[in-house]
Amino acid sequence: MQYNAKTVIRLIPNETLARLFASYSAFAGFAWDAGSKGSADRIFERWQTMEDGDIRAIGRILRQVHCLATPRGTRALIEAGRDQGLDLAEELAALSNAHERALACSLDHPEVFSAARILDHIEGLRRTSWEKRNGFPKQDLVTPEAVKAQLGPRIGDYYRTRDGRGAPCKVEHQRRSNGSHWFFAYPADYEDEVLGYDEAGELGRRPWSKAFEVVFIYDGTSGTIDLYAQGGRAVRDELTGIFTELAFGQAKESEPWKPAPYNLDLFKKSDVELRTKPEDHIASVRVKALRFEVHGADSGTITVDTCRSQKPVYDLIRAHLNEQTATLANVTIREVSLQAVFEPPGKRKRTVSFEITPTHCNLDDSEEAEILRGYLKEWTIEAAG
């Protein structure tokens, strides 16, 4: 949904908005309980009477809130809370919608909100530029702050020599609740000019160097590094060498991590459990179709698809598979089709169907697909990396 200030105000209960505007004199005596009809218009109009700097400050908060007002954003808030020793799942689930959850978190837990914005942004980066590598020491980083201090200048020098850009380069570090270390590097891109307004309201062109991202996620338990960097294999080789030299004292040779195949043997049992969390608003997940290979003298591939029927696929299998000849216990599952139904409050129901083979899953990059992709490990369909 495109950002619109009035729409965001309309989606957040007045009692939460009252907390946002409480410190501004323009809202002294404002009738927050005067009814919901026209409430968003009244709040918006009063907001616009504030000082220009205050108007912009509130606008920034509402835009940031809107960016985190998604299922992925809510997950980022919960994860960022856990990283800081706070379990916010129950607190956030009690609120009315994702916009209220984001604003309440920005007011009550600003450090969590700030960290969640980074996690949400990183989660949304292009998947084609991510690569997991293995073969690194299985140990914790002894001096992550020292790595952080040296990583920025080294990455800046690397891109300056290679492309004529990259400096300055700021690096941020987070240690996640699972023990992994996340380093976010922001090298400067080529300088450009942008047309815009300054604090005095003067229109003009200003020099501007946009930052681009390089991300390292080091997991000392598995000895792996997830690296986000655009530019292909050679760039990722060199950046990995820089990171491992700073982290371990020498540039470690590594190779891309080969993911384990998806485990489809789970679906040989009709009572397979695909549990979900209430905060994800998934009404149901079902096995829509199975394709499996039967072995023996009369070997072949069988596909059982419920199509539009809601009848369990396993009922069809029991009805049509001669168990004296073959059972699911001794076939090879070649493909599973799953169907999930999302019913978020106040929104239209959304059905997501997707297929999984032993080596591939065709989930796209939608918000619902991101949620389901996270469940693949929880359901032990995808092996943990």
Answer yes or no: do 150 and 186 share one domain. yes
pLDDT on residue 384? 59
For residue 323, pLDDT over 80 is answered with: no
Answer yes or no: do 200 and 245 share one domain. yes
Residue 385 lies in a domain: no
Q: Number of structural domains, the chain? A: 3
Answer yes or no: do 99 and 48 share one domain. yes
Residue 164 lies in a domain: yes
| Helices vs. strands in the chain: H and E counts, helices first | 12, 11
Residue 275 lies in a domain: yes
Residue 384 lies in a domain: no
Percent over 90 (pLDDT), the chain = 55
Domain that holds residue 177: 127-256
More confident residue, 252 or 16: 16
Query: Please, what is the Cα angle at 307 between 304 and 309, to 5 degrees?
Result: 105
Letter for the amino acid at 20? Answer: L
pLDDT on residue 277? 92
Which of 221, 256, 291 marks a domain boundary? 256
Answer yes or no: do 209 and 282 share one domain. no
Whole-angstrom Cα distance, residue 27 to residue 33? 13
The model's pTM: 0.66
Which of 256, 289, 316 marks a domain boundary? 256
Residue 273 lies in a domain: yes
- Which long-range CB contacts under 8 A does 202-211 form with residues at least 24 apart? 211/170, 211/186, 211/187
pLDDT on residue 324? 46
Which range (106-115, 292-301, 370-379) has the least confidence?
292-301
Residue 225's pLDDT band (cuts 50, 70, 90): very high
Answer yes or no: do 284 and 369 share one domain. yes
Residue 309's pLDDT band (cuts 50, 70, 90): confident
For residue 298, pLDDT over 70 is answered with: no
Contacts of 190 (CB under 8 A, 6+ apart): 164, 165, 209
Which of 232, 256, 280 marks a domain boundary? 256
Letter for the amino acid at 186? Answer: Y
Answer yes or no: do 292 and 239 share one domain. no
Nearest C-alpha neighbor of 357 from the set 258, 261, 281, 216: 261
Residue 341 lies in a domain: yes
More confident residue, 146 or 129: 146
